[in-house]
Structure 1
């Protein structure tokens, strides 16, 4: 389930309508940062620092800014081999540690979710983190997806600059 390196998927639409659009290669004059995370259940940790996620679960997340809009963060999220997702978030925290939710993402109930979120949008950004902080310090943030069997998180992945 890997997107080709030369494609980034942006989302556009009104209210709940989403449309995935292939863009030019990330290095073709765009100034937006593209982050990625490989999600798996073995990266999810419980309060005792033991593996707490779905051992078969996997997925990918792409998180990126939009040129000339420093307050909007977009994402594409895919998961596989987990029960139906009920929530997804970006959390602040280094690998191996749990941290608070900073951005609420759409649950990939059918295995896929995508959206663009703007700072100040009700119910999306939690606390005082900004898009700029997330894009500038990806190692300080992770994406995780929750389901009924793994309410603390079925899969998780640390954000990093796209390879």
Structure 2
């Protein structure tokens, strides 16, 4: 996907997921004009977002500025600088008035974002909500460590008389960040049966070992091919992973390989990664929140007051590629595209997933095939007449909703 779409998702959701930073404003704010000026020699995409929506603009060269209008309320103003063929930085700022001027500087590999005249954004990520069986996380502190794992079936180790292991065709790529007591992961997989479990085991290559970290403990919906999530672990275990990543391996289990479909040891990555990079994007996107939901008298509960999400859709033929990311809602139970204008409920036209997403997951990508081409043509022609709707157990009628747009 293009950099601006990746960043739109990061700006919208990163802070609350602990991927960005939060510096709450001291009082409610009206609209703020954010001006980001390129003071460096690179070309970059600039983005600014409030708690409900964000926008990105490409192609800013040295001396050029991009201007945005945001309404942060009591929240931060989220700014991101993504250098073309380079690095990126994500910072949160609090405006002191109706204008916020940001200078983009640093190098192409390590860009910076500072208030004009000096002043960085905050740096301490806020925690995501833990799974029900986890302890409440403390604020994240310390240096992040990044690891990768290239999984395949050949690395699985069978146990005599044990469950089937080793998918001959399957493969996966896992990116793992360990910071403080937090383990954040992003996994992309292909040619496996439906994934049922994801673990981090302690054990060297060629040997099986005990589960140490539950990445996900319920099946992934069958339409998915990528997911990102976060879990909380004992700080001593986090230290062990940082000190000896080769002594741990990622193991993905599936319906036809319950002992493990694909596996690989962790290895140091040597660079920073963003789990939201699994978001593939598309020409159509929808920013969603609970206020957009339309209640039906006597119908199921709708409208999570704190929830936010972003949806990307790329139609092709009779199918769609999709990506969703969310924050401050329970694990989604259903994800749909409905046909209906703003303020009006309408029928489901696309089901992204019809079973629940595992707890702790905050972003997914996948593909749905065999759809009605007429409906897809209508979506492409008039996206504003369609909306994304994410359902949860707490809000079965819809937790967050947003109309599609191409902007």
Q: Return closer, same or farther for 1:108/1:65 CA change in 2, 3 Å cut-off.
A: same
Partner SS, residue 99 of structure 1: coil
- Structure 1 equivalent of residue 245 of structure 2: 138
Q: Does residue 1:54 correspond to 2:164, yes or no? A: no
Runs of 4+ in 1 over 6 A off after TM superposition: 9-12
Aligned residue-pair number: 136
Contact 1:11 1:114 in 2 (8 A): no
Does the aligned pair in 2 maintain the 1:37–1:157 contact within 8 Å? yes
2:266 to 153, 159, 163: 159
Q: How far apart, CA to CA, are the structure 1 residues paired with 2:232 and 2:156?
A: 27
Distance verdict in 2 for CA 1:159–1:108, change over 3 Å: farther
1:132 Cα deviation from its structure 2 partner: 1.7
- TM-score scaled by length of structure 2: 0.30
Cα deviation, 1:64-117, whole Å, max 9, x if unaligned, reads 123xxx111111111110000011100000001100000111255422221121
Q: Distance in 2 between matches of 1:108 and 1:144?
A: 14
Aligned-pair Cα RMSD in Å: 3.1
* Partner of residue 88, structure 2: 24
Q: Which residue of 2 aligns with 1:117?
A: 231
The answer for the alignment partner of 1:39 in structure 2 is: 151
- The answer on 1:101 being equivalent to 2:211 is yes
Confirm or deny: 8 A CA contact 1:63 1:74 kept in the other structure.
yes
**TM (normalized to structure 1)?**
0.71
Which ranges of structure 1 fall in alignment gaps of 5 or more residues?
A: 1-8, 15-20, 121-127
Q: 1:82 to 1:63 in 2, by over 3 A?
A: same
- Alpha-carbon distance in 2 for matches of 1:40, 1:94: 16
Structure of larger gyration radius? 2
Change (3 A) 1:40 1:73: same
Give the corresponding residue for 2:177. Answer: 64
CA distance in 2, matches of 1:140, 1:96: 11
CA contact (8 A) 2:213 2:233 kept: no
Q: Contact conserved, 1:59 with 1:80, CA < 8 A, in 2?
A: yes
- The match for 1:147 is 254
State the 1:119 CA deviation: 2.4
Q: Relative to total residues, which structure has the larger helix share, 1 or 2?
A: 2
| Structure 2 gaps, min length 5 | 1-9, 18-79, 90-108, 112-141, 271-407
> Could you tell me how far 1:12 is from its partner in structure 2?
6.3
Change beyond 3 A, Cα 1:39–1:12: farther
